[in-house]
């Protein structure tokens, strides 16, 4: 009964899917391949050692294709891009097959010196890592055999989705490159065939804003970009702003090489990574001129003139005999400054000294004249009284004079207030995807297999679920941990 059910399922599958698959399976020189995209992306395997440019033969036409991708592992997918578009194709599976699941394979083996389309089916026996050509790769073992020339042919699930590529065969089983490697190859090349989004919209260049809901600076930018703000008006006046969530649009981020958020990118220009406020972003985009901070104002001080100390005032003693008036002018020295429009205290003192000498001379002349004219004691008495009165008057004028008051010059300063300063918090950015769980999981796997050999099937099922989860997020499991 079970055999009849299996035969019926195979018949139904071949009836509904065979036509589409047969059109998508191709010959790539001496190997087989499969077209997985209407743009003409054809997958085959690396060990075929095909040249960079090949001829791909579909059922109804032959086209030239160029190699655009080679896997990093020792064995895995190679992708060729056919000229033009509109090719028959089958999709790539989003999740790996389960152990025990029935799978199908198509290819163009060489039979009696002819290349003919063949297909076969069987269960998936296990997942494993295989040594090939001095290296290793991840693969699936399926319970059917194939023929030479079949290499690169697709492994298909019940939905007609590609989940592997044929690597090798023996008398009872065949080894296929893993479903994860097929998905990685297709994801790496699909962006090349997608139409490039326009770089200019309504005469404005596009500004891509790459962010994430888990990114604090990204949320702060969205708040600043809110409706009616100056930031939004200035950005939209120059750019057509487009927000890209890297968690949901990973392909666009991968296409532009964005690995940190927030990132502001205008095609053809260097990206701006990080957000430290609206002003800095507008300056970086050339929408606002940077205000160069001025140095703090310097205080200009006018130096004060050295203090002038008035000379000591000596009270002259009464001379025994009057001094004769000087007949020659006093020479000008460093201690006797020249008279200027504003005489100093020293020059004034010199003038007063000269006046005193002249006054003495006049008094002496008066005294001598009076004594000469009157003669005797009377003349001497009158001359002495006149001399005494002159000397007393001069002494009073000297002792009662206050020293000159020297006023300090006013302090002159030039002061201008500094420009207003903004406090900018420091923000650090880190790559948004980092995970070290794979190492711990790989070690636990090896320990579990060593202690419980019967757990291999369970581990393979667990790997399949992990690959399915990662594929939904556009990620892949590292090659070192199949």
Say how far apart CA 347 and CA 351 lie, in whole Å. 6
- pLDDT for 304 equals 55
Nearest residue to 174 (alpha-carbon basis) of 202, 155, 198, 187? 155
Looking up tokens 């079970």, which residue turns up? 2
| Sign of the four-CA dihedral 89, 94, 99, 102 | negative
Q: What angle do CA 178, 38, 51 make, to 5 degrees?
A: 60
- pLDDT for 337 equals 46
Task: Tell me the pTM.
Answer: 0.43
Please check whether the two domains, 16-193 and 200-284, share a CATH topology: no
DSSP annotation string for 120-179? EEEEEEEEEEEEETTEEEEEEEESS---TT-TTPEEE-TTS-EEEEEEEE-SS-EEEE-H
49: burial class by Cβ within 10 Å (0-12, 13-18, 19+)? exposed
Say how far apart CA 349 and CA 187 lie, in whole Å. 104
Nearest residue to 410 (alpha-carbon basis) of 330, 303, 318? 303
- pLDDT for 257 equals 82
Q: Give how far the C-alpha of residue 128 lies from the chain's centroid of Cα atoms, to the nearest Å.
A: 42
- pLDDT for 126 equals 93
What is the residue extent of each domain of the chain? Answer: 16-193, 200-284, 437-467
- pLDDT for 455 equals 79
Nearby residues of 224 by Cβ (< 8 Å), 6 or more positions away: 231, 277, 278
| Sign of the four-CA dihedral 252, 256, 257, 259 | negative
Which residues, listed in sequence order, are joined to residue 78 by a DSSP beta bridge? 44, 70
Nearest residue to 82 (alpha-carbon basis) of 26, 123, 31? 26
Considering only the top CATH level, what class is 16-193?
mainly beta
pLDDT tens digits for the chain (482 residues)? 555 555 555 555 555 567 788 899 999 999 999 999 988 999 999 999 999 999 999 988 999 999 999 998 889 999 999 998 889 999 999 889 999 999 999 999 988 888 999 999 999 999 888 888 778 888 999 999 999 999 999 999 999 999 999 999 988 999 999 999 999 999 888 766 555 566 677 789 999 999 998 999 999 999 999 876 789 999 999 999 999 998 888 778 877 888 899 999 998 888 999 999 999 999 999 888 765 545 555 655 555 555 444 555 445 555 555 555 555 555 444 444 444 444 454 555 554 565 555 455 545 555 455 444 445 555 556 556 666 666 666 665 555 555 556 666 666 555 566 666 666 555 555 454 445 677 777 788 788 878 877 777 888 888 888 888 888 887 776 654 44
Nearby residues of 258 by Cβ (< 8 Å), 6 or more positions away: 210, 246, 265, 271
Nearest residue to 236 (alpha-carbon basis) of 290, 291, 289, 285? 285
Considering only the top CATH level, what class is 200-284?
alpha beta
Say how far apart CA 103 and CA 143 lie, in whole Å. 9
Alpha-carbon distances, residue 29 vs 8, 52, 53, 77, 328 (angstroms): 35, 12, 10, 16, 129
């Amino acid at each position: 009964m079970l055999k009849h059910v299996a035969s019926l399922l195979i018949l139904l599958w071949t009836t509904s899917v065979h036509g589409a698959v047969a059109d998508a399976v191709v010959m790539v020189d001496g190997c087989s391949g499969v077209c997985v995209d209407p743009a003409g992306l054809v997958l085959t395997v690396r060990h075929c050692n095909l040249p960079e440019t090949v001829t791909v033969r579909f059922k109804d036409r032959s086209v030239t294709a160029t190699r655009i991708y080679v896997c990093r592992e020792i064995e895995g997918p190679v992708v060729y891009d056919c000229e033009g578009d509109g090719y028959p194709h089958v999709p790539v599976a989003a999740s790996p097959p389960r152990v025990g699941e029935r799978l199908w394979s198509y290819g163009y083996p060489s039979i009696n010196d002819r290349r003919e389309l063949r297909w076969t089916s069987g269960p998936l026996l296990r997942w494993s890592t295989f040594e090939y050509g001095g290296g290793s790769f991840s693969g699936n073992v399926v319970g059917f055999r194939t023929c030479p020339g079949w290499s690169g042919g697709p492994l298909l699930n019940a939905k007609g989705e590609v989940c592997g590529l044929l690597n090798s065969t023996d008398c009872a089983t065949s080894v296929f490159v893993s479903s994860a490697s097929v998905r990685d190859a297709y994801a790496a090349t699909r962006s090349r065939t997608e139409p490039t989004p326009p770089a200019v919209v309504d005469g404005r260049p596009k500004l891509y804003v790459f962010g994430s809901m888990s990114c604090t600076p990204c949320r702060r930018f969205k708040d600043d970009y809110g409706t009616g703000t100056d930031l939004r008006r200035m950005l939209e006046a120059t750019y057509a702003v487009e927000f890209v969530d890297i968690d949901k649009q990973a392909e666009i981020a991968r296409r532009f090489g964005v690995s940190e958020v927030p990132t502001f990118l205008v095609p053809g220009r260097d990206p701006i990574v990080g957000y430290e406020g609206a002003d800095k972003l507008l300056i970086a985009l050339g929408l606002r001129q940077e205000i160069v901070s001025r140095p703090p104002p310097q205080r200009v001080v006018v130096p004060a003139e050295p203090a002038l100390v008035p000379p000591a005032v000596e009270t002259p003693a009464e001379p025994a005999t009057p001094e004769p008036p000087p007949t020659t002018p006093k020479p000008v020295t460093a201690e006797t400054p020249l008279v200027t429009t504003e005489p100093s205290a020293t020059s004034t003192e010199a003038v007063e000294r000269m006046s005193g000498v002249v006054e003495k001379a006049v008094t002496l002349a008066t005294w001598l004249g009076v004594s000469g004219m009157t003669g005797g004691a009377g003349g001497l008495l009158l001359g002495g009284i006149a001399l005494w009165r002159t000397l007393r008057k001069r002494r009073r004028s000297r002792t009662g004079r206050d020293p000159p008051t020297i006023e300090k010059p006013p302090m002159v300063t030039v002061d201008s207030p500094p420009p207003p300063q903004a406090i900018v918090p420091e923000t650090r950015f880190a790559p948004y995807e980092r995970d070290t769980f794979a190492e711990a999981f790989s070690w636990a796997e090896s320990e579990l297999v060593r202690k419980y050999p019967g757990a291999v099937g369970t581990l393979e099922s667990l790997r399949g679920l992990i690959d399915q989860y990662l594929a939904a997020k556009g990620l892949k499991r590292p090659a070192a941990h199949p």
